[in-house]
Amino acid sequence: MGRLLNKYNESINRHTVELLEPQSGDRILDIGFGGGIALQMLSSVATKYQLIGVEYSEAMLARAQTKFRELIADGRLNLHRATAESLPFDSESIDRAYSVNCIYFWPDPLAGIREIFRVLKPGGRLLLAVHSPQSMRSPVTDHGFRLFEAEELLHLVREAGFTSTSYEHRDKEMPEDSVLIIADKKHRLSNLSGDV
């Protein structure tokens, strides 16, 4: 299953990693890493970053612990079993975060994005990448998937507190029509109650 996920999601993960624009020393969080392809892409330059992955599936977590055992042993990658709605990290401790084709399954997408906002530092960036509803509709996605239009995701990230948001629509380079939401955190948590 992990290999199939990686093959199907290679292009959308590659574009997501490109748009992260991490700086040397950044702590980068992958939420729902699944087959681990984005972590693998980042691992080639992992000496520059601290990689962190969270995954709810015990099977995917166990697979990643085996696949990335050298990175874990070297302290360059930390893996956790967690959900987007309950991240085991201090507030304002993460520089970059991303989630690819995972938000479909979050019980409360707004709570998940608010939690990501909490753990991101001011100046941090969130990338949310999904396949468009038009390309995802099938008998399979009729059960257990919540599909999102770009405007719905933009509304969610703004409601969660992000003040700088945009999206890219990719339909040529990818096997599936895809949307990538870019959300930058401009202010500290304490500033949200005042002027922004």
pLDDT tens digits along 55-113: 999 999 999 999 999 999 999 999 999 999 999 999 999 999 999 999 989 999 999 99
pLDDT tens digits along 119-148: 999 999 999 999 876 655 554 555 566 888
195 pLDDT more than 50: no
CATH number at residue 104: 3.40.50.150
- The tally of domains found in the chain comes to 1
Six-digit token string for 178 = 């895809």
Q: What percent of the chain has pLDDT over 70?
A: 79
19 pLDDT more than 80: yes
Please give the residue range of the domain that contains residue 25. 2-186
pLDDT category of residue 191 using cuts at 50, 70 and 90: low
Across the chain, what does the average pLDDT equal?
85
144 within a domain of the structure (yes/no):
yes
pTM exceeds 0.75: yes
Rg of the chain over all Cα atoms, to the nearest angstrom: 16
21 within a domain of the structure (yes/no):
yes
Give one DSSP letter per residue of 67-103, joined into a string. HTHHHHHTTSEEEEE-BTTB--S-TT-EEEEEEES-G
